[in-house]
Amino acid sequence: MSDATTPRPPFAPWDRRQLPGLFSVEESARRVGNYKWVEMRLFEALGGWVATVPEMDVKIRLGTHCYKHAWHADLWNKRLPELREMNPDRLTQPANDAMVKFIDAMTAPEAPGETIEKLVGVYRVLIPHKIAAYTFHLNATSTITDAPTIRWLKFILQDELDDWRDGELMLQSLIRTSNDVDRATARARELEVLMVEAGGIAGPGSIGEPEAAAAGDGHAG
At residue 2, the 3 state secondary structure works out as coil
Q: Would you say residue 160 lies in a domain?
A: yes
Amino acid at 46: L
Number of domains in the chain: 1
Q: Would you say residue 221 lies in a domain?
A: no
Spatial distance between the Cα atoms of 103 and 197, rounded to a whole number of angstroms: 12
Q: Would you say residue 11 lies in a domain?
A: no
Spatial distance between the Cα atoms of 70 and 41, rounded to a whole number of angstroms: 9
> Side-chain half-sphere of 125: how many Cα atoms within 13 Å?
30
Q: Would you say residue 12 lies in a domain?
A: no
- Give the pLDDT score at 142: 83
Q: Would you say residue 48 lies in a domain?
A: yes
**Tens digit of each residue's pLDDT (9 = 90 or more) over 92-147:** 999 999 999 999 999 999 999 999 999 999 999 999 999 999 999 998 888 777 88
**Tens digit of each residue's pLDDT (9 = 90 or more) over 56-86:** 999 999 999 999 999 999 999 988 876 665 6
Percent of the chain with pLDDT over 90: 69
Identify the CATH number of the domain in which residue 39 sits: 1.20.1260.10
Spatial distance between the Cα atoms of 95 and 107, rounded to a whole number of angstroms: 18
Domain that holds residue 181: 25-206
Spatial distance between the Cα atoms of 204 and 129, rounded to a whole number of angstroms: 12
Spatial distance between the Cα atoms of 190 and 186, rounded to a whole number of angstroms: 6
